[in-house]
Amino acid sequence: MNYKLVFIDDNMREGLEHPFVRAIGKKRKSAELSVFIDPSKGLDYVLNNLNSKMIVFLDYKFDGYSLQGINVLKEIRKRTSLLYIVMMSANSINQIAGLDILEMINENYIWFFDRNNGTIDDACNLIDKINRLWNVRFDCILENWIIKHPNDANKKVFSQPGQEESYTWERILVELREQTPIGKMFEKLINQFYIYNLTTKSEQNAEDNNSIQ
Amino acid sequence: MPKIIIAYNNSHNIESHNFFQLCADCIKQSCVDNKYDYTSLMPPELTEEKIMENILTHKFCFIAAHGDVDGVYNENNEDVISTRTTNYAFKEKCFYSVACHCAKNLKDELMRIGINLFVGYENEYRIGYNDTVFADCAMEGAKQICSGSTFEKSKAFMLAKYDDAINDIYKSLDSEKNDSIKNTLFWDAAFLLENKENLVFEGKLSLTLSDIV
């Protein structure tokens, strides 16, 4: 399954010619690569593509730009908590000024890549690790389902009583990725409901087995 | 005989007023069946002043209105009972509500004062397409309390009522051929489960309504 790999870093250059980017592109062919030197352009791109599976490699420090990596990170987090972001720095994580970045890295979906000591393979391992996490995430399973069953994309699957608006699977995917109240509610209720049903069924089976014995 | 306050927002211009009316009708019927006196409070009498005045001579207060973590509100968004109102008259009384989120700060406040029973919901109370089923489940605890069951037994009956309603809907999903109806049924079951999981039924559970002085 394809995904977007976005690099926001003023040490790179536009296009895909930076050795780091080119090497990753060769090793991970299903990734659709983009490079942004200007953090605000990178941020715009990310925010306009939140309904895609995406990993953002984000530089911590931008020379000559008012927008810094931490600001980009915060702006993205205002819109979604699901997007995987890899913060890159030439300094070790302990040397990065400001505790907020450390706090944020302790949350899910934020990773750190040491530019000085990290190799291309390290970056690829990180990408693979994120890919494995994608396999079990609700939004990614739904996206895969829509790709395999395109006729289902426009099926209406949810509407709220008393409201005319209805949601198709395609729309639900966007709501999930953007972590809207509907998206969050949808995911929680579906997961909860299936846990409940499996639990109820397993209790019923146990009762049936006991009555047979 | 114990006296019960039945306060509800049936103002036609507010969302869910039909559901609030349904809930009020359920508990009124229980009062009639068990020969309890009740006092109805609805707009324009759904006010803090009326509630606090009446609770002095009543044992049990049911409120069907909109709420948030801090309290329950009337048709003008004024506090009916909240963390900002003076609630000492509720000491050793019972509070039962279908208001969203009321089992958070308001519950803590009423438990601190020394209420004997608090029934409410931690998160949003979700109402599905078949609102009668939702009202029946929401009011099962009150129905049992009025019939003389201990609060503990009433809680168990209420949870079982939710389970039965969810399972009945789930079973009907298999035989339902119409996709749209199937979808509606699924969400009704998921919403009921969400309400069941958010139900808070706390207090001196060994008591019955007639134990309340």
Q: Taking the domains of chain B in order of start, what are their residue ranges?
A: 3-201
Interchain CB distance below 8 Å, B127 and A161? yes
Interchain CB distance below 8 Å, A192 and B197? yes
Between A78 and B118, the more confident residue is B118
Place of tokens 């040490």: A11
Cβ contacts (< 8 Å) between B131 and chain A: which residues?
A: 161
Interchain CB distance below 8 Å, B197 and A158? no
- Which range among A197-211, B56-70, B94-108, B136-150 shows the weakest confidence by mean pLDDT? A197-211
Residue A159: which region, alpha, beta or left (left: phi > 0; alpha: psi -120 to 50)? Answer: beta
**What are the φ and ψ backbone dihedral angles of A189, each rounded to 5 degrees?**
-65, -40
10 Å Cβ neighbour count for B41?
24
Please give, rounded to a whole number of angstroms, the shortest distance from the CA of B26 to a CA of chain A: 21
Any chain B CB within 8 A of the CB of A194? Answer: no
Mark out the alpha helices in chain B (DSSP H runs).
Answer: 17-33, 48-55, 105-113, 131-146, 151-175, 179-198
The CATH number corresponding to B3-201 among 3.50.50.60, 1.20.120.1230, 3.40.50.360, 3.40.640.10 equals 3.40.50.360
Residue B53, CA distances (Å) to A187, B50, B64, B81, B88 in order: 44, 5, 18, 12, 11
**What average pLDDT does this structure show over B89-102?**
97
**pLDDT at B68 exceeding the cut of 90:** yes
Interchain CB distance below 8 Å, A189 and B194? yes
**pLDDT at B28 exceeding the cut of 70:** yes
**pLDDT at B84 exceeding the cut of 60:** yes
10 Å Cβ neighbour count for B172?
13
B116-153 b/e (C-beta count within 10 Å ≥ 16 → b): bbbbbbbbbbbbbbbbebbbbbbbbbbbbbbeebbbeb
- The DSSP letter of residue B210 is G
Beta-carbon pairs below 8 A across chains A and B: 31
- Provide the pLDDT for residue A104: 61
**Nearest by CB to B193, which of A155, A161, A193?**
A193
The tens digit of pLDDT for each residue in B151-197 reads: 999 999 999 999 999 999 988 888 888 888 888 899 999 999 999 99
Using a 10 angstrom Cβ sphere, with 0-12 exposed, 13-18 middle and 19 or more buried, the burial of residue A17 is exposed
- Provide the pLDDT for residue A108: 60
Interchain CB distance below 8 Å, A162 and B166? no
Fold for A3-135, please state it: Rossmann fold (3.40.50)
The tens digit of pLDDT for each residue in A90-123 reads: 766 666 655 466 666 655 678 888 888 889 999 9
Any chain A CB within 8 A of the CB of B163? Answer: yes
**Nearest by CB to B190, which of A161, A162, A190?**
A190
Interchain CB distance below 8 Å, B193 and A192? yes
10 Å Cβ neighbour count for B209?
25
Any chain A CB within 8 A of the CB of B189? Answer: yes
Please say whether the beta carbons of B13 and B19 come within 8 A. Answer: no
Interchain CB distance below 8 Å, A158 and B128? no
The tens digit of pLDDT for each residue in A118-172 reads: 899 999 999 998 888 888 889 888 988 888 889 999 998 998 877 778 899 999 9
In chain A, domain spans: 3-135, 140-212
**Nearest by CB to A193, which of B15, B179, B190?**
B190
Any chain B CB within 8 A of the CB of A196? Answer: yes
**What average pLDDT does this structure show over B114-129?**
96
Please say whether the beta carbons of A144 and A44 come within 8 A. Answer: no
**Nearest by CB to A192, which of B167, B187, B194?**
B194
Any chain B CB within 8 A of the CB of A81? Answer: no
Q: Choose the mutation target among B15, B169, B178, B187 for the interface with A, i.e. most A CBs under 10 Å.
A: B187
Between B213 and B176, the more confident residue is B176
Cβ contacts (< 8 Å) between B167 and chain A: which residues?
A: 200
d(CA A190, CA A198): 12
